Amino acid sequence: MDTTIILNNFREMGAKGLGAPLIMLLLLAMVVIPLPPLALDVLFTFNIALSLVVMLVVVYTLRPLEFSVFPSLLLVATLLRLALNVASTRVVLLEGHNGGDAAGKVIEAFGAFVIGGNYAVGLVVFFILVIINFVVVTKGAGRVSEVSARFTLDAMPGKQMAIDADLNAGLISQEEARTRREDVAQEADFYGAMDGASKFVRGDAVAGILILLINIIGGLAIGMGQHDLDFSTALRYYALLTIGDGLVAQIPSLLLSTSAAIIVTRVASSQDMGGQILSQVFSNPRVLALAAIILGMMGIIPGMPNFAFLSLAALAGTGAWWLYRRQNLVEDEVLPPVVPEVPAEQKELTWDDVQPLDIVGLEVGYRLIPLVDRNQGGQLMNRIKGVRKKLSQELGFLIQPVHIRDNLDLSPTAYRILLNGVAVGEAEVQPDKELAISSGHVFGTLQGVETKDPAFGLDAVWIDPNQRDHAQTMGYHVVDTSTVVATHLNEILKTQAHELIGHEEVQQLLDMLSRTAPKLVEDLVPKILSLGQLLKVLQNLLAESVPIRDIRTIAETLAEYGTQSQDIGALTARARVAMSRAIVHQLVGSTDEIPVSVLDPGLEQILQQSIHPSDEGGVGFEPGLAERLQQALIETAAQQETADQQSILLVAAGIRPWMSKFVKHSVPGMRVLSYNEVPDNRQIKVVATVGKPN
């Protein structure tokens, strides 16, 4: 039983991975262990057969990548040929004095029959084969492989971007994109491997010349010194055997070199090599007709081989006539003679040809593509999913997917964030570095490229990843490039959240609310407010950074006051008052005392008198006052930031909407509350008065 298990395990192991090691052991054995002439005959025949099979596979291969094992096979065949050279050299030098088939029938046949037993002719033929192999075929194939590998590597970013563009456009699936990326990588690896493998073949050609010379010199020394042969006899025996051995090795080498040249010069096609030649070379009858005329004119010149030229001219002319007749027959079959040829009309345009804009888009330069490609270790896609999930939970509605595309018009290391097709943020990053962001309390400076954090505009430095620990000990906050882009996207989506919500999202919120409060939804929309009016209120809240997670409270407030007023501003103010506890908690947490800034009573009275309700909240007062108000707000916000306090401005309810808009553009970090938005369980602490005369 144990023996059976061991044998089964051995068979499985042998089937899976013992093939290559056994071949290497056999090659080593051929170099070390003397082989009989019969074994040499079998191995030389196998070498020739292997070369023929490889060449035929190359000819019938449609795409070079279909024979991706060719570089490794080329190396193994070269090692086999060199091992055979060593084994045959041993036999030739040991048994060459006997002449004839001392080194096997194959070597004898190539030495006697192929070159007629004349070693001088054999030397010439051998050197011609070596020159063809070394100078023409192998050198050309190596150059083509080198250039192809270089061009393939240079074209990889463009191919990757094309794949990503097709994927983002929905033209291909994730599986097809993964397969294409693997093909691009395999193509670069293949041509790089072919460039290296061709060097082995060139070295093999040089080794063939050296082995020939060494065998002849060694054979003469052994035959004359050890076996007492005269010079002519020793030269005849050893030279014929050596040349036969060299020809047996050089012919498979030439076949493999030609195969390498064919496969590196092939262009991917749906036809094999023979089909491509027939369809591309012999498809035009005019070419054969002109060739027939030229050959016929050369054939009638006196002194020329008339029969050969005229025969080929007749053959070419017959081929041209046959192709011409065949093409006419095909045209007659395909095109009805009674119907005039009408140009094809373009397909009628439909609404499917009008592509909608992406609500949220991200365009990247080509050097940032690895950040998006998971196959290259990119983490940006996961970070963006995390940003969408976090914002959806914070704001209270589902953030739309981010469509990522490459853009060749951008700088290679730049990216651009778009909302509804319009750029709202753009920056450049360093994909191979990390960003050390100053926290305001850092100790020392870092070596790197100084910049600004794209999300918050803080001072930052691009550093090498190995400086991360050192930067953190100095007080810097260090993040990778994917986090930089994701954070920038997060801030833009948060500040522009009111542009992301639409009728569809509001309807989804109502559908969710109807599961727990169906009567509330039924009474609110469309009996009291329309879906568009509800959307306007929610957009106003999001524009002032108020989350709409508590959609039930918002809906109840609007249902209560919507019967009294349809004014969107008034309804928004009512909703803010109803959500005051959540708004204040978002700003200061659970602290009982709220540090606030207030307007000077005189200034506040001027603003209240200047408000024009009929003019959409417009304010009319002198520009100098607006400039002084802005400067005072900036100074107050700076003082509260220094005291590590949230900058809050408390104003009367009538001017709160206008002050909120004014502050949003003047002091982005300041939030504006009205007096009736302060919860009963919180205390107010006035820390500054804006506009108070000195």
Helix (H) or strand (E) holding 405: strand 402-406
pLDDT at position 79 is 81
Q: pLDDT tens digit string along 342-394?
A: 555 566 777 777 777 889 999 999 899 889 887 777 889 889 998 999 999 99
Alpha-carbon distance of 417 to 485, in angstroms, equals: 9
Q: Determine the average pLDDT of the residues in 386-407.
A: 92
Spatial neighbors of 258 by CB under 8 A, at least 6 apart, are: 55, 137
Q: What is the pTM of this model?
A: 0.52
Q: What count of other Cβ atoms lies within 10 Å of the Cβ of residue 123?
A: 17
CA distance 583 to 646: 13
List Cβ neighbours of 214 (8 Å cut-off, separation of 6 or more). 89
CB atoms within 10 A of CB 165: 16
User: Would 360-498 and 592-694 be classified into the same CATH topology?
Assistant: no
Residues in contact with 318: Cβ distance below 8 Å, sequence separation at least 6, in sequence order: none
pLDDT at 121 over 70: yes
Q: If one looks up domain 360-498 in CATH, what number appears?
A: 3.40.30.60
Residues 52, 107 contacting (CB under 8 angstroms): no
Three-class DSSP category at 621: coil
Query: Cβ neighbours of residue 491 under 8 Å, at least 6 residues apart?
Result: 455, 456
564 vs 571: CA distance, rounded Å = 10
More confident residue, 28 or 434: 434
Q: Give residue 508's pLDDT band: very low, low, confident or very high (50, 70, 90).
A: very high
Q: How is 497-522 classified by DSSP, letter by letter? A: HHHH--HHHHHHHHHHHHHH-HHHHH
pLDDT value of residue 120? 72
Per the rule left: phi > 0, alpha: psi between -120 and 50, beta: everything else, 444 is left
Distance between start and end Cα atoms, the chain: 104
CA distance 250 to 209: 10
HSE, side-chain direction, 13 A CA sphere, residue 528: 21
**Are 674 and 651 contacting, i.e. CB atoms less than 8 angstroms apart?**
yes
- Helix, strand, coil % over all residues of the chain, rounded to 5: 65, 10, 25
Tokens of 169: 């456009």
Contact present, 633 and 600 (Cβ < 8 Å): no
Query: Looking at residue 111, what is its pLDDT?
Result: 63
Pairing of strands 449-452, 459-463: antiparallel
- Which has the minimum average pLDDT: 28-37, 160-169, 527-536, 553-562? 160-169
Mean local confidence (pLDDT), 102-109: 66
What CA–CA distance (Å, rounded) separates 385 from 97?
81
Q: How far, in Å, CA of 599 to CA of 606, rounded?
A: 11
Sheet strand arrangement including 360-364: 402-406, 360-364, 414-419, 422-428
The tokens describing 554, both together, are 């918002």
Share of the chain above pLDDT 70, in %: 80
pLDDT grade, residue 435 (50/70/90)? very high
Assign residue 617 a region: left if phi > 0, alpha if psi is -120 to 50, beta otherwise?
left
DSSP letters for 41-57: HHHHHHHHHHHHHHHHH
Give residue 316's pLDDT band: very low, low, confident or very high (50, 70, 90): confident
Long-range contacts of 117-123 (CB under 8 A, 24+ apart): 117/240, 119/235, 119/236, 119/239, 119/240, 119/243, 122/239, 122/240, 122/243, 122/244, 122/247, 123/239, 123/243
Q: Is 409 exposed, middle or buried (0-12, 13-18, 19+ CB in 10 A)?
A: exposed
Residue 302 tokens read as 């006196």
- Domain range list for the chain: 27-277, 296-332, 360-498, 501-578, 592-694
CATH number of 501-578: 1.10.8.540
**pLDDT at site 529:** 92
pLDDT at 672: 92
Task: List, for residues 645-689, the tens digit of each pLDDT value.
Answer: 888 999 998 889 888 888 887 787 889 999 999 998 889 989 888
Give the amino acid at 591. Answer: T
Q: Is the pLDDT of residue 206 over 90?
A: no
Q: What is the pLDDT of residue 396?
A: 93
C-alpha distances in angstroms, 689 versus 281, 592, 630?
Answer: 90, 21, 13
| Residue whose token pair is 């009858």 | 285
Q: Determine the CATH number of domain 592-694.
A: 3.40.50.12790
Give the position of tokens 């029959």: 113
**Stretch 217-227: mean pLDDT, rounded?**
78
Using only the alpha carbons of the chain, give its radius of gyration: 42
Mean pLDDT on 553-568: 92
Residues of the chain with pLDDT > 90: what percent?
25
Query: In 433-532, which ranges are E strands?
Result: 434-437, 449-452, 459-463, 477-480
pLDDT on residue 560: 92
Top-confidence range, 11-20, 140-149, 555-564, 625-634:
555-564
Question: Using CA atoms, how far apart are residues 645 and 651, in angstroms rounded to an integer?
Answer: 18
At residue 474, the pLDDT reads 85
Q: Point out which residues pair with 478 in neighbouring strands.
A: 436
Pure H helices in 96-138 = 105-109, 119-131
Instruction: Tell how strand 459-463 and strand 477-480 pair up.
Output: unpaired
Q: What is the DSSP letter of 115?
A: S
Q: DSSP assignment, residue 617?
A: T
In angstroms, rounded to a whole number, what is the distance separating the alpha carbons of residues 531 and 548? 16
What is residue 553's predicted lDDT score, i.e. its pLDDT?
94
Instruction: Provide mean pLDDT across the span 49-67.
Output: 80
Give Cβ neighbours of residue 183 (< 8 Å, ≥ 6 apart).
Answer: 65
Is residue 238 classed as helix, strand or coil in its secondary structure? helix
